[in-house]
Structure 1
Amino acid sequence: MRLLILLAWLLVAAPCVRAAEPLTNFNVVLLQPSAVLEERVPSIDAMAEYIKAVEAASREAVIASGAKQSVGGFIVVAVRPELRSNVWLDFDSLLDLELRKQLITKVKAVKPFEARKGPVVFALKVATWNGKESKRTAPFPPEWKGVTRSGTPLEVGDLVESIWED
């Protein structure tokens, strides 16, 4: 009888048990004002497809790294005219080195959409392996720290241009 009760409970409870997801995307954070994005993004559909491809590449990277680290943060992406892109990571704790390498490599390998008149900058707010969502609302990768002009913060597109490395 106990076995039947246990089996019945498992059948009912099984759909509630979820496997850990390699990557959870909480949202997309647009890091520039609407007016800038409207000027620089000729096709919203192309940008949306690119964001989906970046998310898929990020998921593949988490799996390929072999790291089972649970951490929340941001994958920051900039797309320049001439189909060029760059990636920065800003997570709440240090990332496993292989995970970091895989994320940057796989996201950079995604063919970007066509931007015009300057860079388009956004971030995916994500967590790996059921990690907690970052409490921060926007990223500020370590590479961006200390980059200012005359002591005043730069607009994010200008900031990205000032530190861009191909």
Structure 2
Amino acid sequence: MNLLVRRLFWISFAVCGTVSLVWGHDVGEGDLKVTVLAKSSDAWDDKPLPHYPTGQPEITVLKIIIPEGKKTPLHFHSVINAAVLLKGEVDVHMPAGETKKLKAGESLIEVVDKAHWGENVGQGDAEFLVFYAGEKGEKITHVLHGDETPEAVLQEANR
């Protein structure tokens, strides 16, 4: 089986493991309902996602809470990831001014190797469930300090 197909299978399994129950049922049979929350080869900025790495795949699933009125530090992800906002309202920003507004129940295919931050603009905590598809041992999130850029951080890490 082709490496890309194998990785896509495992990502699908991690994100929608319970959906496999549906495959044994006819449409409309039973109480199961399936909703596709996100499916794309592009990130939220409409740019194509990078190819998967060639090493041992590693899936990470995180629950991230941004308290009311707070924001994440400027950061980037070096792996493909997707999130579902379970609770709250969040605006995701990139330094050039692009913004993606999210409300509870909406999903996001995150940008890769691009600086951004999230800001809780709603009432109460904002709660994300995030799925990262990376390579075993690879760092998934890099916080940027001062004038650092994703390119400089990755170049330094590869030395």
Q: TM-score, normalised by structure 2?
A: 0.28
Bigger helix fraction: 1
- Structure number, greater radius of gyration: 1
Q: Normalising to structure 1: TM-score of the pair?
A: 0.27
If asked which structure has higher relative contact order (CA below 8 Å, sep 6+), I would say 1
Higher strand fraction (1 or 2): 2
